[in-house]
Amino acid sequence: MSPDALKRALLALVALLIAWGGFALFRRSMSDAPVALALPKLSPADVDRITITARGDTIVLKSTASGWQANGYAAAAGSVDELIGALSDTGNASELVARSAASHARMGVDSAEGHRVRFFKGDRVLADVIVGSPGRASQTAYVRLASDDDVYQMHGRLPSLAGRDLDGWRDRRIAAVPPDSVRSVEVTRGRQGWVLSRANGTWRLGTAAADSGATARLLRSMTDVSALGFATAAQAESLDFAHPKRALTVLGAASDTLLHLLFDSTASGSWVRRAAGGPVYRLDFWRLDQLTPSDSTLRKK
C-alpha cells in the first residue's frame, strides 16, 4: 500500500472512531436524561372525592351540594382545588431516583409511612400516588405511583399538601361581617356589658357619643374572623358555653342577627362558638379582646 493510500485509510479510521464516539455519547446522554413522573391533569370538575391515608388514619375530602367537606366538616375555600391543581403543576418537576421496592421503606413511600393520595370520580380511581420522606434537594419529597415500584424526587406543592392534617383542611373562617351592614353591637363580659348603636350615621355607646376611631377598629375586626385551630372533643367537653365568660351579638339594619358568638377561656387558650352551635374554634388571646373590648376603649376621648 502506497503512503498516500495508508494515510487516507488512517484518516478514514479516525473519522469513523470520532463518529462512533459521538453516537455513543449521544445514546448515553439520552439514556441518562431525567425521567419525569407522569401524573394526570385533572380539574376540580373531574373529581368528587379524595382520600389521604397515612399511618392508619384517613382524611376524606368530599364534594357536596354546599361545597367541599373534610371528614364531614366544611373545608377551607380553595384548599381542595389547590390539591387537585398540584397534580398538573408538579408532573414535570420530578426525576427518577430508584426503581426497586427495596427502597420504599427507606424513602418513606411504603404503606407504613407514606401518605397515599387517591383521586376519585364516583368509584373510578383517577390517580393514586404515595408521598414519602423529604428528598435530597430542598423543598422536594419522594413520590411514587401506588401501582409502580419506581420512586421519583418531586418538587412542587403536592408533597406538602399531602402532609396536611385534618385541621389543615378545615375552614377556619368564623365570620365576615361588612362594617356598613352593622346597626348595633352588644358585648357582655361576665356580669358587665355595653351596647354600641348607630342612628342617623352616628355611633353611640349607650347614651353617650362613641369614639369614632375605636368604633371603626371594632367593626373592622369583624370583617375577617378566623381561628387558629379547633378544639378536640375533650377540650370542647370541658368548656361552658351555657354560661359564657363573654358574648358578642351583632345586629343588622333590620334587627337581624348578623353574628352571635359565645366565648370561654382556659389555661390552654381562648375558645369561641356560634350561639347556634357548630365547631369550637381556638382564638388568639388578643383577638378575644379585639372582638369584645371593654367599654372604656369605646368612650369618646
Closest to 259 (Cα-Cα) out of 274, 278, 272 = 274
Q: How far apart are CA 282 and CA 286, in angstroms?
A: 12
Q: Is the pTM of this model over 0.75?
A: yes
Q: 44-169: which CATH topology?
A: Immunoglobulin-like (2.60.40)
Give the per-residue pLDDT at 139.
83
Identity of the residue numbered 37: L
How many CB atoms within 10 Å of residue 186? Answer: 15
For the chain, give every domain's residue range: 44-169, 173-297
* Structural element, H or E, at residue 215: helix 212-221
Q: How far apart are CA 287 and CA 246, in angstroms?
A: 13
DSSP 48: S
Give the per-residue pLDDT at 21.
53
Tens-level pLDDT at each residue, the chain (301 residues): 566 655 555 555 545 555 555 544 434 443 444 577 888 899 999 999 999 999 999 999 999 999 999 999 999 999 999 999 998 775 557 899 999 999 999 999 999 999 999 999 999 999 999 999 999 888 889 999 999 999 999 988 898 999 999 999 999 999 999 999 999 999 999 989 999 999 888 999 999 999 999 999 999 999 999 999 999 999 999 999 999 999 999 999 999 999 999 999 888 789 999 999 999 999 998 999 999 999 999 998 7
Cell of 30: 439520552
Give the per-residue pLDDT at 8.
57
Q: Do 157 and 89 meet the contact criterion of CB atoms below 8 Å apart?
A: yes
Give the per-residue pLDDT at 1.
55
Cell of 79: 384548599
Give the per-residue pLDDT at 88.
79
Cβ burial of 12 (10 Å; 0-12, 13-18, 19+) is exposed
Residues 6+ apart with CB under 8 A from 203: 196, 197, 209, 210, 212, 215
Strand, coil or helix: 91: coil
Closest to 60 (Cα-Cα) out of 129, 131, 118 = 118
- What is the helix, strand, coil percentage profile of the chain, to 5? 30, 40, 35
Q: How many helices (H) and strands (E) does the chain have?
A: 8, 20
Q: How far apart are CA 256 and CA 276, in angstroms?
A: 14
